[in-house]
Amino acid sequence: MEGIAGRKSGLTWAVQLSVVALVLLWVLPTLGLFISSFRTADQISASGWWKAPFPTEQNMVLRAAGPEAQRQEGDKYVIEGDLFTDGKTGKVSAWGISSKAYDIYKPGEVAELRKGGTITVDAAGHYRLERDTPFEGRRGQRIFVTATTPPEFTLDNYRTVLFSGRGSDNMGRAFLSTLTVTIPATIIPILIAAFAAYALAWMEFPGRALLIAVIVGLLVVPLQLALIPLLKFHNQIGIGKGYLGVWLAHTGFGLPLAIYLLRNYMVGLPRDIIENARVDGATDFQIFTRIVLPLSFPALASFAIFQFLWTWNDLLVAKVFLIDATGDTTVMTNQIVELLGTRGGNWEILATAAFVSISVPLAVFFLMQKYLVRGLLAGSVK
């Protein structure tokens, strides 16, 4: 009965459910990072991103106005104000004046201050301090509040990440540096690999099979083996610790895959087209530029996606070949590592920086995903 038209087998349902599970496994963390990038530090510390659209209860340490805000009412000195400022709102469920007993008072109850006087806080966050003698000191009274606050989203995280800070805190500069590294490191290997792939696919010369075998062998060589020797060579010729060095490093590490991928695609092109062009007097360069390149666009786009994602998300090669103490050429992956060190508790800044880092690869992937599968399957079917 499973083979009857209109009915799906159990295996088909299992495959579809597995695909849905994999999609959710990748989408949910990205969605959580996106939502967290718009939340405040208090909201992130109080609840998970899945609770962002709902009111949350959180513990906050707020401070009343200082002695400069006091006024005299009869024989009393009074300081009044609101704990929730800058348009923020909340409903206080408990409060206190000590970190050891931060929720012992209900809204409207009166607490005795250690230095004399009283304080009360209502449910809306309005406080009132009274004392027989003038208030003294430099700072206002700390108030520990347990309150339910409405959902809050802000663009301040993106302003901080992209448009403020210097050196290790400036993600906007790192964004431009990453583009400076990624775009040439994607274009250069494509140009070189396209010429090499055409030669290996359609030009007859001694040692061609050996070259193909060497390229396949280079695919399994880990790049970590070549980092230090290549850095020493770059330093000897004067291109180390700069953009040119990192471009050439990414080009060298990406060429084996590029040549292998493009060669497999070009060798599968119809032979009649190439032979007819040669009969008509076309040179190899004309065949390459006017016939092979336009027909090989899916493979070129497929490799461009791989190379772009690899160079954009790279940290190791950038650490080795793009060392910069001033932060002018720091890439985004290294910038996030720096933020982890300097802003380890600012999760809203880290979430925003991480989402800015992945937004460009996501856009590139979704715009060119239709070419990815076509390029990957190049040469697999005759």
Residue 300 and residue 302: Cα distance in Å, rounded? Answer: 5
- The helix/strand/coil state of 44 is helix
* Cα–Cα distance, 370 to 367 (Å, whole number): 8
Mean pLDDT over all residues of the chain? Answer: 83
CA 274 – CA 277 distance, rounded (Å): 5
pLDDT in tens, 16-48: 888 889 888 888 888 888 998 898 887 888 788
- Could you say which DSSP state residue 289 is in? I
Distances from the Cα of 71 to the Cαs of 66, 77, 107, 206, in angstroms? 11, 6, 23, 96
227-242 pLDDT tens trace: 888 888 888 888 877 8
What is the DSSP pairing of strand 76-82 with strand 142-149?
A: unpaired
Token couple for 243:
């953009």
Distance CA 190, CA 180 (A): 17
Write out 238-262 in H/E/C secondary structure. CCCCCHHHHHHHHHHHHHHHHHHHH
Q: Where are the domains of the chain?
A: 56-149, 159-376
Q: How confident is the model at residue 380 (pLDDT cuts 50, 70, 90)?
A: very low
Phi, psi (deg, nearest 5) at residue 223: -65, -20
> Is residue 49 very low, low, confident or very high in pLDDT (cuts 50, 70, 90)?
confident
Is the pLDDT assigned to residue 8 strictly greater than 80?
no
Q: Domain 159-376, what fold?
A: MetI-like fold (1.10.3720)
Assigned token pair, 176:
């431009």
Sequence-ordered list of residues with C-beta below 8 angstroms from that of 320, at least 6 positions apart, any chain: 227, 228, 231, 249
pLDDT tens figures, 104-138: 899 999 998 888 899 999 998 899 999 988 888 87
The string of pLDDT tens digits covering residues 170-186 is 677 888 888 899 999 99
Span 308-325, pLDDT tens digits: 988 998 888 888 888 664
Q: How far apart are CA 344 and CA 342, in angstroms?
A: 6
Tell me the CA distances in angstroms from 12 to 3, 4, 240, 373, one per residue in order.
11, 14, 54, 21
Of the chain, the percentage scoring pLDDT greater than 70 comes to 89
pTM of the model: 0.71
Q: What is the predicted pLDDT for the residue at 295? A: 87
Residue spans of alpha helices (H) in the chain: 10-36, 41-46, 156-163, 171-202, 208-218, 224-237, 243-266, 271-279, 284-287, 293-295, 297-313, 316-321, 332-342, 347-376
Q: Which residues pair with 112 in a beta bridge?
A: 118
Phi, psi (degrees; rounded to nearest 5) at 125 = 95, 10
As a whole number of angstroms, the distance between CA 137 and CA 287 comes to 84
**What does the alpha-carbon distance between residue 148 and residue 136 come to, in Å, rounded to a whole number?**
32
How much is the average pLDDT of 350-376?
Answer: 77
